[in-house]
Amino acid sequence: VQLQASGGGLVHTGGSLRLSCAVSGRFYSTYIMGWFRQAPGKEREFVAAITWNTGITYYDDSVKGRFTISRDNAKFTVYLQMNGLKFEDTAVYYCAASPRFSFSRSEYDYWGQGTLVTVSS
């Protein structure tokens, strides 16, 4: 499975961005697609996930109500719509795929290259 993340950039506090993750290769519809982020000097942390076949979503409490994860089955793409961005959302965002749901990054076997989101105050 290959993952290609894009859509990062510089935005002011309160602004919005939409990240995309293009999926290719040997991908199974039972996979879980996740977004993680890593801020400078911090560990990579779970942001959101979606089950590809059923569309069930999961969010970290820090982004609930502001971020929305979705997928387009026809385009093999996962999105992370980020609204109401805060300074503390600044991080490199990674998409990942796992055969089973988990909040832990260690359960995700496939990773994209990361896209930088910078929120200026």
CB 25 within 8 A of CB 97: no
DSSP helix/strand/coil, 98: strand
pLDDT tens digits for 13-70? 999 999 999 999 988 888 999 999 999 999 999 999 999 999 999 999 999 999 999 9
The amino acid at 109: D
Query: How many residues comprise the chain?
Result: 121
The 10s digit of each residue's pLDDT in 62-95 is 999 999 999 999 999 999 999 999 999 999 999 9
One-character DSSP codes across 27-80: --TT-EEEEEEE-TTS--EEEEEEETTT--EEE-TTTTTTEEEEEETTTTEEEE
